[in-house]
A and B are shown apart, each in its own frame.
Chain A
Amino acid sequence: MFKYFEPNKIFSITSRAPKYVLLLFIIILSIGLTEALILSPEDYKQSHSVRIMYVHVPAAWICLGTFSVITFLSLVGYTFKIRNFFLISKSLAPSGFVFSVIALVTGSIWGKPTWGTWWAWDARITSMLILALFYIIYLIAWRIYDNDDKAFKVTSIITILGIINVPIIKYSVDWWNTLHQPASINILSKSSIHISMLYPLLIMTAAFALFSLLIFLMKYNTELIKIKNKGLDRL
């Protein structure tokens, strides 16, 4: 089993997988868009504006999940000196950042017809903006530090500081009075969202997760080739 973790095996998988992931992503996204834009019902209060949820919520979920994974990998990687974990974290960050921007922008577009404003310094929105800033700082840190050890240390510190914000985002709607409604989907208790809206939401989440995987695979491949380029310089 461990032979699959050898760099050439990993590269072999990551260089062939993207085309299949891309195909699957297009299929799932097409189904998701049909469900989200045409088949799913309108909300009795928000009417058709509720459809924005199908891009806003998956984007927010994935950017939060990605940051948590980046933090976990950075911590384990730094503690046990596993270089590959940093490579994975670095490759996950660009899609995480783009998803945080999508969550902010689509949330702003949704806010106008629902709350009558594009932006409010509400706890959930502000903490999401802070997460996007952490993504930016994380990505800039990788560009600034050429020295790998320094980059590992600095990016690990950034993720540790940033992860404090993740539970704040999650529980901000319970801790403070915000414009956002409390969570409609609960894993442990009964969800308040109707099944006719839950299915499109889950399909769109699967499509977004596949896109995140696609970008990760392409980015990870690029990083491996970059390392090999340095290796050729030393020959």
Chain B
Amino acid sequence: MIDKILIMNGYGLYVWSAFLFTLISFSLLYVVTKIQHNKEKNKFIAKFGTLSSERAAFAKSQSINKEILSNTSNI
């Protein structure tokens, strides 16, 4: 049964390499997008930390900033 699925009448190499290429491309795109997302978020948090208390309070009054700071996005 396993042999049949792997070898596929001699077409296994073609079929499995096509599926593997697709899954590797998916993984790479996901990882790269995740890294970019985390990089921008860390930059945002770092910049927020350098703001004076007055400016930080003003920035925090914008709800989207609050969202970015509160949401640690566990994707």
Residues of A in contact with B (beta carbons under 8 Å apart): 7-8, 11-12, 15-16, 18-19, 22, 33, 36-38, 42, 47-49, 51-52, 55-56, 59, 94-95, 98, 101-102, 105-106, 109-110, 112-113, 211, 214-215, 218-219, 221-222, 224-226, 228-229, 231-233, 235
Other-chain residue from B12, B21, B29 in contact with A109 (beta carbon distance below 8 A): B21
Residue on A with the closest CB to B16? A37
> What are 16 sample pairs from A and B whose C-beta atoms fall under 8 A apart?
A8-B63, A8-B66, A11-B68, A16-B71, A18-B75, A19-B74, A36-B19, A38-B5, A42-B9, A55-B19, A98-B25, A101-B25, A215-B30, A219-B33, A219-B36, A232-B48
Query: How big is the B interface, by class?
Result: 35 or more
What 0/1 readout, one digit per residue, does chain B (33-74) give for beta carbons within 8 Å of chain A? 110110011011001100100010011001111111001011
CA distance A229 to B59 in the complex (A): 11
A10–B75 CA distance with the chains assembled, in angstroms: 17
- By beta carbon, the residue of chain B nearest A99 is B25
Looking at the complex, which one of B8, B18, B51, B75 makes contact with A19 (CB distance below 8 Å)? B75
Q: Which residue of A lies closest to B7 (CB)?
A: A48
Give chain A nearest CB distance to B11 CB in angstroms: 4
Q: Using known A-B contacts A37-B5, A48-B12, A215-B30, determine if residue A109 contacts B40 with beta carbons closer than 8 Å.
A: no
Which chain A residue lies CB-closest to B22? A55
B residues with CB within 8 A of A: 5, 8-9, 11-12, 14-15, 17-19, 21-22, 25-26, 29-30, 33-34, 36-37, 40-41, 43-44, 47-48, 51, 55, 58-59, 62-68, 71, 73-75
